[in-house]
Amino acid sequence: MPTDGPPAKYQKTALTAAESSKSTTGRVILITGTGGFVGFHCALALKKRGDGVLGLDNFNAYYPVGIKYDRVEALERAGVYTFKADLNDRSFVDHVLKEYGITHVLALAAQAGVRYATKDPASYVSSNVSGFVNLLEACRFCDPKPRVVYASSSSVYGLNTVSPFSEEHQVDRPASLYAATKKANEMIAHTYNHIYGLSLTGLRFFTVYGPWGRPDMFAFSATIKIHKGEALKIFQGPGGSELERDFTYIDDIVTGCVAAVDKIPESVKGTAHCKVYNLGNKDPVTVTYMIECLERAIGKKAIKNYVPMPPTGDVLKTSADVSLAEKELGYKPTTPLQEGINKFIKWYDEYYKEGLTKEMSTYVPY
């Protein structure tokens, strides 16, 4: 059940959080995963327009946490406070939702990564399933109930062979545990909508890239290796076929997230809103073409090592049908891949202006 106040260890941050939650729009938004890539950018965009924004992140070390702390430090300069906490800390989640009058939740926190799920499956269940249920449990006890926009993933399409991927397609054949947890999120959301009247919108992101990105994702990790002169491991499908991805620039994803926040109706008793949308670039390209874009932006050729795709959860192709998001959210991706890569490399060069003298695994901001 909800508690009357926060655990003592969190009380010292209340004043800073109160300032961060001040709003000129009537919206006070809790964003989970503000130390992460998409959460960071969404927090900046929503705060800039006048929303009250609070963040929450557990700073897990799936990838080096230095860049997470850098993101959060940048958010603090922009007026966004981030609690260091876990979604499975129910009393604290209850406190934040009630103490700061949260009207919307943008649930972006997750244990990320398709392949890592083969090494630490329990972390995916704890973060992506248990954490999500805990968040919705806290929301259902609020009065009024917050509206919830949450991150799903293009990975839910799994072994689907019909392209482009549409929200009308079946998503019952996941190719990875990560995908299974994201499908579970969608099913759990439907359940909480049906039983408790929570208003929920799910967003299926397609391979996001851009400034402040995740070091484990291809655009970022390939850039590091090209600079170092190390070979890129490029997966191939049956018969040497090339993998294709619907790479989507972060600014386009943010416009979709903001639109979802704006369009979602209030949570009500009885029938309430529950929908899922694709957010992609609707222009899939081969991984080899992505490398060519990186080479042009960096001014250096990559060393390529083609290997068979291992059975760790990757799929041959992703391709987004975004017609539903276009119609109902006004979503329209506008960033061509080369333009987005150029912006990413410009940021990358600035972020590492001292040169690659520090490994990502040891980089810390202080």
Nearest one of 137, 345, 335 to 250, comparing CA atoms: 335
The answer to whether residues 93 and 100 touch, using CB atoms and an 8 Å cutoff, is no
> Does the domain at residues 14-209+248-279 carry the CATH identifier 3.40.50.1360?
no
Q: What is the pLDDT of residue 14?
A: 44
Output the CA angle 155-182-93, nearest 5 degrees.
145
Phi then psi for residue 355, to 5 deg, are 90, 165
Which tokens go with 339? 């333009």
Other beta carbons within 10 angstroms of residue 142's beta carbon come to 18
Identify the H or E element spanning 355: none
DSSP calls for 296-365: HHHTSPPEEEEEEPPSSS--SB--B--HHHHHHH-------HHHHHHHHHHHHHHHTTT-S-S-TTT---
Q: What is the pLDDT of residue 267?
A: 81
For 40-64, give one letter per residue: b (16+ CB within 10 A) or e: bbbbbbbbeeebbbbbbbbebebbb
Q: What is the pLDDT of residue 186?
A: 98
Which tokens go with 60? 């897990």
d(CA 204, CA 256): 10
| Domain edges within the chain | 14-209+248-279, 218-245+282-319+335-351
178 is catalytic: yes
> Does the domain at residues 218-245+282-319+335-351 carry the CATH identifier 3.40.50.720?
no
Q: What is the pLDDT of residue 115?
A: 86
- Single pTM value for the model: 0.91
All residue ranges of the chain with pLDDT < 70 are: 1-15, 269-271, 354-366
Q: Do 218-245+282-319+335-351 and 14-209+248-279 have the same topology in CATH?
A: no
Q: What is the pLDDT of residue 2?
A: 26
d(CA 69, CA 47): 18
Which tokens go with 363? 């980089």
Which is catalytic among the residues 69, 81, 116, 178? 178
Nearest one of 100, 256, 94, 271 to 198, comparing CA atoms: 271
